[in-house]
Structure 1
Amino acid sequence: MPEGHTIHKIAKDHGALLNGRPIEVTSPQGRFSADAERVNGAVLDKIEPHGKHLFYHWDTGEIGHVHLGLFGKYKIHRGDDRPEPRGAVRMRLVADTATIDLAGPTACSIDEPSVRKEILGRLGPDPIKPRQNKQKMFDKIHKSKRGIGDLLMDQSVVAGVGNVYRAEALFVCGIHPLRAGTSMDIAELEALWSTITAMLRKGVKDGRIVTVERSELDIPSGKRIKRGEATYAYKRDHCLRCGTEIQHLSIQNRTSYHCPFCQPG
Structure 2
Amino acid sequence: MPEGHSVHRIARQFDRNVVGRAVAASSPQGRFAEGAAVIDGRTATSVRAHGKQMFLEFDDGLWLRVHLGMYGAWDFAGDILVDPTIASANGRMGQTNQRGTVLDDEPVLDSAGENSLTSIGAPRRARVHVRMSEQTTGLADDGDQWPPPVVGQVRLRLMTRTTCADLRGPTACELQAPDEMRATLAKLGPDPLNGDPAEDEERFVSVVRRKPTSIALLLMDQAVVAGIGNVYRAELLFRARLNPHTPGRDVREEAVRDLWRDWVRLLAVGVETGQMMTMDDLSPDDWRRAMASRDDRHWVYHRTGLPCRVCGTPIALEELGGRKLYWCPSCQA
For residues 171-210 of structure 1, the aligned pairs below 5 Å read: 171-210=238-277
Aligned to 1:120: 185
For residues 17-36 of structure 1, the aligned pairs below 5 Å read: 17-36=17-36
Correspondence 1:94 to 2:159: yes
What SS does the aligned partner of 1:182 have?
helix
What SS does the aligned partner of 2:330 have?
coil
> AA paired with 1:82?
P
Inter-partner Cα distance in structure 2 for 1:176 and 1:86: 45
Aligned to 1:258: 327
What SS does the aligned partner of 1:78 have?
strand
Inter-partner Cα distance in structure 1 for 2:323 and 2:283: 28
> AA paired with 1:91?
L
Aligned to 2:148: 83
More moved, 66-75 vs 78-87: 78-87
Aligned to 1:162: 229
Given that 1:18 and 1:97 are in contact with CA atoms closer than 8 Å, whether structure 2 keeps it comes out as no
More moved, 36-45 vs 76-85: 76-85
Shift of 1:238: 2.1
2:204 aligned to 131, 137, 144, which one? Answer: 137
What SS does the aligned partner of 2:46 have?
strand
Inter-partner Cα distance in structure 2 for 1:69 and 1:60: 28
Aligned to 2:8: 8
Give the TM-score of the pair, scaled to structure 2. Answer: 0.76
What SS does the aligned partner of 1:71 have?
coil
Inter-partner Cα distance in structure 1 for 2:195 and 2:270: 16
> AA paired with 2:240?
C
More moved, 77-86 vs 225-234: 77-86
Inter-partner Cα distance in structure 1 for 2:312 and 2:282: 17
Inter-partner Cα distance in structure 2 for 1:220 and 1:6: 24
What SS does the aligned partner of 1:191 have?
helix
Inter-partner Cα distance in structure 2 for 1:222 and 1:247: 27
> AA paired with 2:161?
D
Given that 2:317 and 2:324 are in contact with CA atoms closer than 8 Å, whether structure 1 keeps it comes out as yes
RMSD: 1.6
Deviations 1:194-216 (A, max 9, x none): 11111111100001111112527
Aligned to 1:245: 314
What SS does the aligned partner of 2:220 have?
coil
Given that 1:36 and 1:110 are in contact with CA atoms closer than 8 Å, whether structure 2 keeps it comes out as no
Q: Aligned residues: percent identity?
A: 35
Inter-partner Cα distance in structure 1 for 2:288 and 2:235: 23
Q: 1:262 to 1:123 in 2, by over 3 A?
A: same
Inter-partner Cα distance in structure 2 for 1:191 and 1:251: 23
Inter-partner Cα distance in structure 2 for 1:128 and 1:261: 33
How many pairs are equivalent? Answer: 263
User: RCO higher in 1 or 2 (8 Å CA, sep ≥ 6)?
Assistant: 2
Inter-partner Cα distance in structure 2 for 1:257 and 1:238: 12
Shift of 1:220: 5.1
Shift of 1:127: 2.0
Given that 1:11 and 1:49 are in contact with CA atoms closer than 8 Å, whether structure 2 keeps it comes out as yes
More moved, 149-158 vs 7-16: 7-16
Deviations 1:123-167 (A, max 9, x none): 100123351422222222112111100110000000000000000
Inter-partner Cα distance in structure 2 for 1:97 and 1:262: 52
Inter-partner Cα distance in structure 1 for 2:164 and 2:282: 41
What SS does the aligned partner of 1:91 have?
strand
Inter-partner Cα distance in structure 1 for 2:302 and 2:220: 17
Ranges of 4+ aligned residues in structure 1 off by more than 6 Å: none
> AA paired with 2:75?
K
Inter-partner Cα distance in structure 2 for 1:180 and 1:154: 14
More moved, 127-136 vs 194-203: 127-136
Q: 1:126 to 1:21 in 2, by over 3 A?
A: same
Given that 2:209 and 2:253 are in contact with CA atoms closer than 8 Å, whether structure 1 keeps it comes out as no
Shift of 1:37: 1.4
Deviations 1:215-243 (A, max 9, x none): 279x4564534111100111112212222
Give the TM-score of the pair, scaled to structure 1. Answer: 0.94
Inter-partner Cα distance in structure 1 for 2:286 and 2:249: 43
